């Protein structure tokens, strides 16, 4: 049987759990008694490839399941607190209704933003049409045909299919959330009873705490980024300044790529608003891009290294990989999924090398006590 993980992570050196080690601390290669087998590495690569394609082509079930697990991790502290004063079923229903209320509010907010944006853009439609025509003419000069709107029937069919998939996925996610919140207490008790010697109940709680910590970190960084982008856009006289703040706040949940994408819309809109004058687009790029540069190069890595202990390269690859597997939702939860893989693989000596490969060795010393 593999030695206790707690001993491998520092107890044998007289270090208290959660003290003096990064939250995702993995022993360096020299501290392990067994070398990495080449066959094991090749098998792991094969498993990753097969699993990726399996997840990609089963996303109608696996994506709602993964997102439901992520939501259970977020809502679990509230469920535990409510279950102390309410019957478990009532607490579950209350949390599910809270999730539905948040989702509905988010959807209504998006609809209101779209409606307001459309109303404010109506006065600039001539400028927008002229800009689009100029871009098409410029592209045609290089032999690129940007074309028109395509087949309306085919577009309607694809939109209908997307709407059905969205409704089905949302329904499954809500069901997984409710069942997960209801059953987690039973599984926690079974885990504590059967694996008390190995402390697995505490480890599972730590994994859930890391998921919640990730969400709080991204929300905090996103709020700062959104406010800074909105105020900067207002200062330079860019219309819809509040929209650029909201957009950059939401895109912040997609690490790295979201920061890049968030700069493009305000710059393009500044080009339209300025009527071709390059000064406003340059100012928009400097302001929004400057905020993203500061947050992405100093604040984000500092917080990420302290709380998540994932290297920037691994974060970017996580977004790209899970985005390819599950689309935009995969990009949103890609980093938490990678974090989950690191937390799980570090608990077993044969798979510690995977955690060592993914985790950032220069991370800070944040305690891993459950949040």
Q: What angle do CA 110, 282, 315 make, to 5 degrees?
A: 55
pLDDT of residue 19: 47
pLDDT given at position 361: 58
Q: What would the DSSP string read from start to end of 315-364? A: HHHHHHHHHHHHHHHHHHHHHHHHHHHHHHHTTSGGGHHHHHHHB-TT--
pLDDT in tens, 124-155: 677 777 777 777 777 777 766 666 555 567 77
Torsion of CA 127, 133, 134, 139, to 10 degrees: 150
Q: How far is 240 from 60, CA to CA, in rounded Å?
A: 36
Residue pLDDT, tens place only, 301-315: 677 666 666 777 888
pLDDT at residue 371, rounded to an integer: 45
Cβ-contact 340, 334 below 8 angstroms: no
| Structure tokens given for 120 | 């404010």
Averaged pLDDT in 10-residue chunks for the chain of 371 residues: 44 44 49 62 85 89 89 88 90 94 88 78 71 73 63 71 83 92 79 62 75 85 93 92 90 83 88 80 93 82 67 83 88 85 80 79 45 45
Q: Dig out the tokens for 154 from the structure.
A: 């085919």
Question: What is the model's pLDDT at position 198?
Answer: 58
Q: Which of the 8 DSSP states describes residue 30?
A: G
pLDDT of residue 151: 56
Which of 8, 26, 10, 30 is closest to 18 using CA atoms?
Answer: 10
pLDDT at residue 6, as a whole number: 43
pLDDT at 59: 87
pLDDT at site 367: 41
């Amino acid at each position: 049987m593999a030695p206790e993980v707690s001993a491998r992570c520092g107890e044998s050196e007289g270090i208290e759990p959660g003290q003096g080690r990064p939250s995702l601390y993995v022993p360096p290669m020299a501290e392990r008694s067994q070398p990495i087998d080449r066959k094991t590495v090749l098998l792991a690569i094969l498993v990753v490839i097969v699993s990726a394609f399996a997840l990609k082509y089963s996303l109608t079930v696996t994506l709602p399941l993964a997102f439901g697990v992520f939501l259970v991790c977020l809502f679990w502290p509230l469920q535990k607190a409510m279950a102390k004063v309410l019957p478990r079923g009532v607490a579950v229903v209350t949390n599910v209704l809270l999730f539905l209320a948040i989702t509905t509010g988010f959807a209504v907010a998006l609809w209101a933003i779209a409606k307001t944006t459309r109303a404010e853009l109506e006065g600039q439609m001539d400028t927008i049409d002229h800009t689009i025509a100029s871009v098409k003419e410029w592209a045609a000069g290089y032999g690129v045909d940007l074309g028109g709107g395509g087949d309306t029937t085919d577009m309607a069919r694809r939109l209908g299919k997307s709407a059905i998939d969205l409704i089905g996925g949302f329904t499954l996610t809500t069901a997984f959330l409710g069942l997960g919140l209801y059953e987690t207490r039973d599984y926690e008790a079974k885990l504590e009873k059967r694996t008390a010697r190995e402390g697995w109940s505490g480890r599972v709680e730590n994994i859930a705490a890391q998921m919640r910590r990730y969400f709080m970190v991204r929300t905090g960084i996103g709020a700062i980024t959104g406010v800074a982008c909105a105020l900067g856009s207002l200062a330079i006289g860019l219309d819809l300044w509040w929209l650029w703040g909201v957009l950059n706040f939401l895109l912040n949940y997609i690490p790295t790529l979201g920061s890049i994408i968030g700069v493009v819309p305000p710059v393009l809109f500044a080009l339209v608003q300025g009527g071709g004058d390059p000064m406003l687009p340059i100012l928009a790029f400097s302001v929004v891009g400057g905020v993203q540069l500061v947050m992405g190069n100093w604040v984000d890595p500092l917080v990420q290294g302290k709380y998540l202990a994932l290297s920037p390269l691994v974060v970017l690859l996580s977004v790209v990989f899970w985005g390819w597997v599950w689309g935009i939702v995969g990009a949103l939860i890609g980093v938490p999924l990678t974090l989950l893989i690191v937390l799980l693989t570090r608990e077993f000596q044969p798979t510690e090398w995977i955690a060592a490969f993914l985790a950032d060795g220069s991370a800070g010393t944040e305690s891993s006590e459950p949040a």
